[in-house]
Chain A
């Protein structure tokens, strides 16, 4: 069962670079800055999109694409920060560019005007659960004190359980914000079996690097994982 319009795809081989894990919070700093700057514009766009959705009955496509790119990017940054994925993410939120990626509807869906009008109130329970669930994960992944951090630093691989736990927290957060930001009117689902696709990429062809270096040493494709046992 995987029926939610917002799905997190995890296409990751659990291998981690100890060097980048050690510096991961700092390597994420430029991303957090960019996320904050982009977020200011997104806030305005979400506000405008709310009016559009309220009057037209569905979000405006350019707004939807813009917000979706931001959400996709935010989740890749979260995945990088929590070493749920290994590579350094890009800054554009381009689909198909990262092993842990949120799949969002491309075409704006028809949405209930009532749900749109009361969205800011309706989202609150889910928002509170999402925020509360991310803190234990942060603690678990925190440098020097987190089990996940030590396990990853010692073995050079993140244990699958920790990775899936972190991915689920991000998946739920992604669904909550997609609901909040009017990408969908389907309420976030707290079940770990809904909206999670392990081992299946969003786009099959990886985004090509434009550099000669990439031609010399292509990034090794992430090995797909076995789907979770039912």
Chain B
């Protein structure tokens, strides 16, 4: 085969793959929220009060600064580590993969040290507003111990990447990316069993309401569970978790502490049930799969300059490339997440038919989480996995307008 034919074949393959990728992405991007839905401008100050709004804005502004530090510091630290990290190779008596594991763990350890002042500052800020109850020493010791599981995770990743790289050379990503998707699937499946979920007691009415909503929506009811977080935070939250038989709805104990009315809790449950109804956890894995292939490919390309992933010398650069690429894709990941959350809000409105409760819930979220309901434009791009509270309240009003409420 001539050089030009090979190039043409390569281009055709790339074109076919790109078209498949775009088609899959567009399928995942679709939601049941009406495309022509216009969200009205909401005067949040009229709903939460001006002083509450200013408090939330002040709180969120400083929190965003810590958030920016949390995005930029790892990039700076890992860029330096990519340049100088190979000096630690002398600290290893292990073979190439063992040395790669050690370099990866040391990279994360150095990152932990570098992030400590910023993390302590963030904790101080969250404690000041009563959002988090964790003590400073507790946080330092707790995150130090948590590094143990992070080390295990990174060692598994290095084992897969370097193992395949030693077998397949720079094409390791072709085998590595599917393995990462399978691991993502397994983690999502087992998460409910690892989260310390407790049975939901004293909320029989909520369980009945969930069964009612599930029947109306034509889905199977999912077990409601409680995550006991009362000793750590005051922030309310709930999450849909698991796949197939492991599906659960985890309600944080803070959302059941009496600050939210029964109709508001029904909206929360309907929202989480909507995630299961729309197979959002599967979609999340699909979305991850769409990105893990190109990211793994780009990492393989980048690390070639250090001899490829078969040698430990490339590991510091691998860490930097990995964190860098996931930071670059963060805005699109957040946008995808916001679409799924918006769809769950919409479905919850349809299911509960109670816009007043939904509106009251979102207003309460501003008060209990101190999140700015109208953040600057870059905030949701970088940090927004959910629509802003103003957008959520706007959706309620748009739904009311459509349904003559």
Contacts and interface: CB of A to CB of B under 8 A. Distances in A.
* Chain B, interface residues (CB within 8 Å), range: 20 to 34
A23 B95 contact: no
B188 to A, nearest CB: 22
A30 interface: yes
Nearest to A100: B93
Contacts of A30: 101, 105, 151-152, 155
A87 B95 contact: no
A53 to B, nearest CB: 32
A92 B99 CA distance: 13
Contacts of B91: 17, 20, 86-88
Contacts of A25: 148
Interface residues of A, number: 32
A25 B311 CA distance: 25
Contacts of B86: 213, 217
Given A27-B102, A33-B152, A90-B98, A211 B93 contact: no
Contacts of B313: 211-213
Contacts of B97: 91
Contacts of A212: 307, 311, 313
Interface string B75-102: 0000000000011011111111111011
Contacts of B145: 26
Contact of B147 (A26, A33, A209, A218): A26
Contact of B109 (A19, A89, A213, A219): A19
A88 B312 CA distance: 13
B74 to A, nearest CB: 17
Interface in B159-198: none
B334 to A, nearest CB: 31
A98 interface: yes
Contact of A213 (B95, B101, B151, B312): B312
B106 A211 contact: no
A99 B92 CA distance: 11
A220 B89 CA distance: 11
A210 B96 contact: yes
A65 interface: no
A19 B87 CA distance: 13
Interface string A19-37: 1101101110110010000
B93 A99 contact: yes
B92 A88 contact: yes
For A23, A92, A220, the residue with the greatest tally of chain B CB atoms inside 10 Å of its CB is A23
A44 interface: no
Contact of B311 (A17, A97, A99, A211): A211
B23 interface: no
Interface string A191-220: 000000000000000010111111001111
A167 to B, nearest CB: 16
Interface of B: 86-87, 89-99, 101-102, 105-106, 109-110, 144-145, 147-148, 151-152, 155, 307, 311-313
Interface of A: 17, 19-20, 22-23, 25-27, 29-30, 33, 86-92, 97-99, 207, 209-214, 217-220
Given A19-B106, A89-B98, A217-B87, 5 more contacts: A17-B91, A26-B109, A87-B90, A209-B89, A217-B89
6 contacts: A17-B91, A26-B151, A27-B109, A210-B95, A213-B89, A217-B86
